[in-house]
Structure 1
């Protein structure tokens, strides 16, 4: 038995066991190298702030692809990418040649230097040219501040104006106040030469009139915001013509 162990068969058995031992040592070295590479890779990625799982000794180490080369996706990533629709320029209908939404419209040609400007600066009083009157010119107003017709107004014309309830009067005070005489209860006169207003009561009438709560017995000059009382109606005098303006001034300029 001991002689057979030292014969050719024993030598072949020793060589086989030696080769198997060398193979195991080599495999152990290869596994150790793979794990050391994985640990180095994990340390490098951890230094960059990434969370890395260190593979075990039996796991295959997958090194990152060289720079400039795309990584090959796994089967799960390829399936997920196939199920996710991609948004392309065609699907969003982006038209790079479409006109802008806001357009600037410019006038054709250059503006002429002789053409008048759109905005004109006016200083001082404007020159007004007087034409022919189609109606009697207004020189002031009577505004109703009390009684029937409050808030209404009546214009005062140049010359002599009769006041009464009937529409035949030049200034009809027809707001339903029966205490006002129907015809010519009073007069308001505007004198363009003197540029003054006069209130003249009709003393032949029994209806009482007053100016600023005073009953005149003759002509009295009216001033701005004087109050005329006729029956139950109070009227405020508002002049338009006067010392600062008169229609005759326009005729003198023309």
Structure 2
């Protein structure tokens, strides 16, 4: 039988009470004194207390109220703070082959460093440990020229099978394939000569 279940038990329920003056000095200064004396009082001798009732008058009034008010956080409280707007998407990298096959990540304006760490603009943490944690490569979108450029970072990068050399930028076109470690990505542009978010 559970200690919370009184079924089949004829013993009257009890509660612990503290006798006045049981603490040293008879005041409330020593309420947390572990040696204070406690008495048991049966429910039948409890005066002015109904089972399940509360001693708080405000809480009692709320229980007697004909309405129950539920508190739910508003959607506005869950919304990101003002000024934290998401940058518009300018392109995607789709994992065509390797760990994470079928997944896609988006990119925005500026320099998008690629790596496995979550702080990278393009985080490719799908299980390919040959991809550097930070700045394996980078893709930059230039809104003035409406063009994309791929550059090498800390590790080897291949564009359509050709090696990207250190300190070089290669123009990137929609449909190009980028190889990092054991992962092959396909570049899909959204912005370009025909559209830009600044139009």
Report the equivalent of 2:183.
Answer: 233
Measured after TM superposition, the shift of residue 216 of structure 1 is 1.3
Measured after TM superposition, the shift of residue 147 of structure 1 is 0.2
Q: Which runs of 4+ in 1 moved over 2 A?
A: none
Measured after TM superposition, the shift of residue 211 of structure 1 is 0.4
List per-residue Cα deviations over 1:4-45 (Å, max 9, x = no partner): xxxxxxxxxxxxxxxxxxxxxxxxxxxxxxxxxxxxxxxxxx
Q: Write the distance in 1 (CA, Å) between the matches of 2:124 and 2:116.
A: 5
List per-residue Cα deviations over 1:82-115 (Å, max 9, x = no partner): xxxxxxxxxxxxxxxxxxxxxxxxxxxxxxxxxx
Structure 2 portions without partners, runs of 5+: 1-82
RMSD over aligned Cα atoms: 1.3
Measured after TM superposition, the shift of residue 134 of structure 1 is 1.7
Q: Write the distance in 2 (CA, Å) between the matches of 1:201 and 1:166.
A: 17
Alignment of 1:63-78 (within 5 A): none
Q: Check conservation: 2:156, 2:164, Cα contact below 8 A.
A: no
Q: Write the distance in 1 (CA, Å) between the matches of 2:107 and 2:171.
A: 15
Counterpart pick for 1:142 among 93, 98, 114: 93
Report the equivalent of 1:173.
Answer: 124
Measured after TM superposition, the shift of residue 133 of structure 1 is 8.3
Q: How many residues align?
A: 115
List per-residue Cα deviations over 1:174-232 (Å, max 9, x = no partner): 10100000011111000000000000111xx2x31100010111100001100000000
Report the 3-state secondary structure (helix = DSSP H, G, I; strand = E; otherwise coil) of the residue aligned with 2:163: coil
Counterpart pick for 1:215 among 163, 185, 194: 163
Report the equivalent of 1:224.
Answer: 174
Structure 1 portions without partners, runs of 5+: 1-131, 250-254
Q: Write the distance in 2 (CA, Å) between the matches of 1:216 and 1:231.
A: 13
TM-score of the pair, normalised by structure 1 = 0.44
Measured after TM superposition, the shift of residue 244 of structure 1 is 0.4
- Of structures 1 and 2, the one scoring higher in RCO (CA 8 A, sep 6+) is 2
Report which of the two has the higher share of helix.
1
* Rg larger in structure: 1
Report the 3-state secondary structure (helix = DSSP H, G, I; strand = E; otherwise coil) of the residue aligned with 1:180: coil
